[in-house]
Structure 1
Amino acid sequence: MDEHDRLAERFETHRGHLRGVAYRMLGSLTEAEDAVQEVWPRLSRADLSGVENLAGWLTTVVSRVCLDMLRSRRSRPEEPAGRPGPDLASDPGEGGDPEHEALLADSVGRALLVVLDRLAPDERIAFVLHDMFAVPFDQIAPIVGRSPVAAKKLASRARHRVRGTAAVSGAEPARHRHVVDAFLAASRGGDMNALLAVLAPDVVRRADRAALPAGGRAEIRGARVVAEEAVVFARHSRFAEPALVNGAVGIVVAPRGRLLIALTIAIEGDRIAAFEVITDPARLHRLDLAVLDD
């Protein structure tokens, strides 16, 4: 085995770690694989005589590649607001990316991927490296082109956005989370009795027109009809996670970490009194989203 082959072998031992770093930075398995592939030619051309920590060196390189990709993504024209939203009668998991990307999204957290996607590129890099991979700020600083103090501020600002601030305090968020978890569990299980138990008798469901199948009503009332609809659309619930939506406990539906649907939920007592299904891209973009603490 020559030196090139030994280097390639060493690179392969770090590939899984690099993919994990890149996936959290980019939110796409395809782009993460592209970023990791970009590291190899840089490694093969580099003078490694002074490199004591190859894993750290590779993490730095893949982080810089990801930062360039995030900045390039930001510079592209945004998709026009008002494009058709997803049809709730279709399966958002059909086709597309490999199944193991869905597994990655599950392991990272779909709501977290959605929130990370709203961070500025430098904030996302600093947060992922420090909070998820414990990289010190003196190593993050040269990647983002800032001082260690400024890099720490980037991560802190990102952390604040990721965690958000609940509109209510005390035990209310935990109680509301329990109600939303019960709603999701009942929807996934197609359990009508459990759904009726968590919905107020006069519950109201509102939805964007684009979210509905042909002939669907923008507003329906009553626990029975709302529960029946929740069972019909239960396939979407496997992509759903509780999240803070505009400061209140709600739900995001994000196949492979891509936000398609958000639910704002009003809870009274221990039941859902009303919720709105939002799919319009412009409305989704305006939502204040954050991750719920476990």
Structure 2
Amino acid sequence: MSTPQPPMPQAAPAWQAAPGPAYPAYTSPIPVVRTHLGHAITSEWTKIRSVRSTMWTLGMFVLLVVGIGLLTGVLVSAHSSEGSLRSENPLSFGVFGLLLGSICIITLGVLTTASEYGTGMIRTTMTACPSRGRVLAAKAIVFFAVAFVMTLVSVLFVAFVDVSLLDGAKQPSGSEWLKGTVGISLYIALLGLLSLVIGSVIRHSAGAITIMIGVLLAPLVMALFMFAESLDKVRTALIDYSIPNQLGVFYSNSLSNSGPSGWDPLWIMLGVTAVAFGGAYLLLEKRDV
């Protein structure tokens, strides 16, 4: 009696067969595009315009700059004689609103980076775009553009209204218009960009905002309480290089005769921001997210 033979193995279906010349490589129907900085900028623009904090902080910024600027112009116009206005620069009345509004720009700058670390969203961002320097650059470009445009529009509106209200005041020259609108808008945008960089370094929203508000106000407050003659040079330096004083320089209303003048505040802020940005980039490349 013959022994039954084991059944012959069946050939594997074509879809299970090992890849080879008879089975060409799979081609995805989804087009593969090499990513670049433009994609990162588009992503960051979508983020910044789709969160409520952006609308609230920018709305409050416009309210402070426009509201206080126009209110100051109305009060000066109502309580000043025509002769006393000849030495006044109508553009300078916008500095009061900008000083308070800069806190809003600082807050938004910090939240642009630090909030992602708080929620853990930064891991998704870095997975989608492994180039960390590109992510930081995209955030900086988008935020700087938003802060500059919003500041420029607000300052221009206040300037035109105040100039029309104060007919007897000195008419600003072309250079004064440039410094009091474009120049100070660049300064405020750089201040916000510095806040964004500090938020990337600290990675904590409340901590970074506290640091930046201290940078904004602490030097001038400290100088006001330095009464000793031995601290005279320190007091003068703190006043000269405080941010409120540098804002006044754009309107030729410096708190002292020494210190920055002309466009110096803009170059100082640009240098400080560039150094901080370089440090934030190095830390971002070395630390885990």
TM-score (norm 1): 0.25
Report the structure, 1 or 2, having the larger strand content.
Answer: 1
Report the structure, 1 or 2, having the larger helix content.
Answer: 2
Point out the structure with max Rg over C-alpha. Answer: 2
